[in-house]
A and B are shown apart, each in its own frame.
Chain A
Amino acid sequence: MSVAELARALRGPVTLIAVGVLFAVDHFTPIKFRQTWPALLIVFGLMTLLGREARPPYVPPPPGPPAGQNYLS
């Protein structure tokens, strides 16, 4: 169970909570949603970034013919 997998699973719920918090802040403080909405992009972006880290490890492409030869001939 990696951090990345957890981050991917939590991305939706955390974004939803952020939406709720921003609207609550809008209703109960003078700070308005139209000012704070970019925070949603940040939260969503961060969660996506954390989720990306543990993609399947990089597999190099199968080796082709030696490059130098083709180039010279």
Chain B
Amino acid sequence: MRRRSIAGPLILILLGVLFLVYNLRPELPISELIAVYWPFLLIAWGLIRVGEVVVALFRGEPLRGGFSGGEVTLIVFICLIGSAAYSAHRHGIRLGVRGMEMFGQLYDFPVSADRPIGAARRVVFENRRGNLRITGADAQEVRVTGHKSVRALSQTDAERTHRETPIEIVVEGDTAIVRTNQERISENLRLGADLEVTVPRGVRVELRGSGDYDVTDLAGDVEISSDRADVRLTRIGGNARVELRRSSIIRAVDVKGNVNLEGRGNDIELENIAGQVTITGSYAGALEFKNLSKPLHFESQNTELRVEALPGQISMDLGEFTGRNVVGPIRLMAKSRDVKIENFSNALDLETERGDIELEPGRVPLARIEARSRSGRIQLTLPEKATFQLRASTDHGEAINDFGPPIQMATEGRSASLNGQVGKGPEIHLTTGRGTVSVRKAGAGTTQAQL
């Protein structure tokens, strides 16, 4: 029988030791070490095999250094998992093996602090992990209450962690810093602080960390930058600026200043915003905008939207866009969405690649309308008294006209077009590659104006 290499058992022992250390001393950064230093495992393995070949050479035994299929598979897996762990580590994603967090118990400690902040106009929160509920009040002090939860194997460990991470309120010049000092301990220790805070109403609030953030009744600005947070802002007097790497919801209601969202996330809900709204990034969930007094600009990888104001409502997700009562000029580039816009004013410039378009300006006089779809039907419903110049065409599909003789219909092969002029009015261009293009009269035929 040929001699087996000692590398296999050694690797097994090493893995066992690493996992054991991870479980027993979670504060040691084992997972980071593995993510960065795993290539040396391969080097060590190779060196062991070289050593074995050399030993065999001196003993005069037959040489074998080739790897079995199983070993090659293992090596490939180590490379794949190692590379993934390394890139996750570099991009700041924390890999936790879920089962391992079940070790230990959750210990809770009440925390509180308060301190007058004098002339400080800016309050910065540094809470790596945990929820913050911040409320503006007619006071001169910052008051913090809440609790800290620590996952540890024993009460003693938990208490040590608790002592090492005191909550502090520091005033430096015009800035007050509320910090929970979680950086002092390893990120592997499960520790979070959920805080309820009252601050003087007029200050500017800056939040860093990850958790749920709830900010209410503030006259100043709010700035949030976080890897992962759910944000709820209510009654904010100043500007709101939110930069997130991940979130499931961002909600802002009654904001007097500008709202600026950046990053990635899921749902967005904005209501009663008096300032400009600028959103860039990618948001995969449902987006709801209601009652925005100033321009809205939304830009993501496959959508661009600009409206001048929104007395009504816009809701969109990855498949649909619905707008009601929108003040233009409107510009919307939506890759693959069904678009429906009702009751809008001023010019409209709309383009989709795939998706049906339904437009109903709902008021006269009309403004310029330009709608293009690569594939999808276009239906424009106009008030009976509307005046306009129409140029509509489809490459594959039929054309429907409710306005009678002033509009000429022409078909050629599979394509169809509508051209003509009803009274004296603005230009309307509708173009689709595939689908029916129709110009309907409100109240007539199948569609009813829902105003």
Residues of chain A touching chain B, judged by Cβ–Cβ distance below 8 Å, are 1, 5-6, 8-17, 19-24, 26-27, 33
Contacts and interface: CB of A to CB of B under 8 A. Distances in A.
A39 B41 CA distance: 19
B328 interface: no
- Most A CB contacts (10 A, CB to CB) among B36, B43, B67, B75 go to B43
A58 B37 CA distance: 47
Contact of B65 (A13, A19, A21, A22): A13
A10 B65 contact: yes
Contacts of B70: none
Given A1-B63, A23-B42, A17 B83 contact: no
B43 A21 contact: yes
Interface residues of B, number: 29
Contact of A12 (B36, B41, B44, B49): B49
Contacts of A17: 42-43, 46-47, 50
A10 B42 contact: no
B38 A23 contact: yes
A9 B40 contact: no
B82 interface: yes
A6 B82 CA distance: 30
Given A19-B79, A24-B39, A9 B53 contact: yes
Interface in B45-70: 45-50, 53, 56-57, 60, 63-67
Contact of B64 (A9, A20, A21): A9
8 contacts: A9-B63, A10-B53, A12-B66, A13-B65, A16-B46, A19-B39, A22-B39, A27-B37
B86 interface: yes
B39 A16 contact: no
Given A12-B67, A16-B75, A6 B57 contact: yes
A9 B43 contact: no
B30 to A, nearest CB: 17
B56 to A, nearest CB: 8
A47 to B, nearest CB: 10
Nearest to A1: B57
A8 B63 CA distance: 9
A20 B50 CA distance: 14
Task: In the A-B complex, list the 3 residue pairs whose CB atoms are closest, starting with the nearest.
Answer: A20-B42, A17-B46, A23-B39
Contact of A16 (B36, B53, B67): B67
A15 B67 CA distance: 11
A23 B83 contact: yes
A24 B63 contact: no
B82 A14 contact: no
B45 A16 contact: yes
A48 B409 CA distance: 75
A16 B45 CA distance: 8
Contacts of B43: 16-17, 20-21, 24
Given A8-B65, A9-B63, A11-B65, A20 B46 contact: yes
Given A16-B46, A20-B44, A27-B37, 9 more contacts: A5-B63, A6-B57, A8-B66, A13-B45, A13-B53, A14-B46, A17-B42, A20-B40, A27-B36
A41 to B, nearest CB: 15
Contacts of B42: 16-17, 19-20, 23
Nearest to B43: A20
A19 B39 CA distance: 8
Interface centre among A15, A16, A21, A26 (most CB of B within 10 A): A16
A1 B43 CA distance: 26
A26 B79 CA distance: 12
Interface string B81-112: 01100100000000000000000000000000
A33 B79 CA distance: 11
Contacts of A6: 53, 57, 63
B81 to A, nearest CB: 12
Contacts of A22: 39
A13 B57 contact: no
Most chain B C-beta atoms within 10 Å of own C-beta, residue among A8, A14, A20, A33: A20
A24 B6 CA distance: 23
Contacts of B37: 27
A12 B43 CA distance: 12
A43 B207 CA distance: 52
A23 B49 contact: no
A20 B56 CA distance: 24
Given A9-B53, A14-B50, A20 B39 contact: yes
Contacts of A8: 63, 65-66
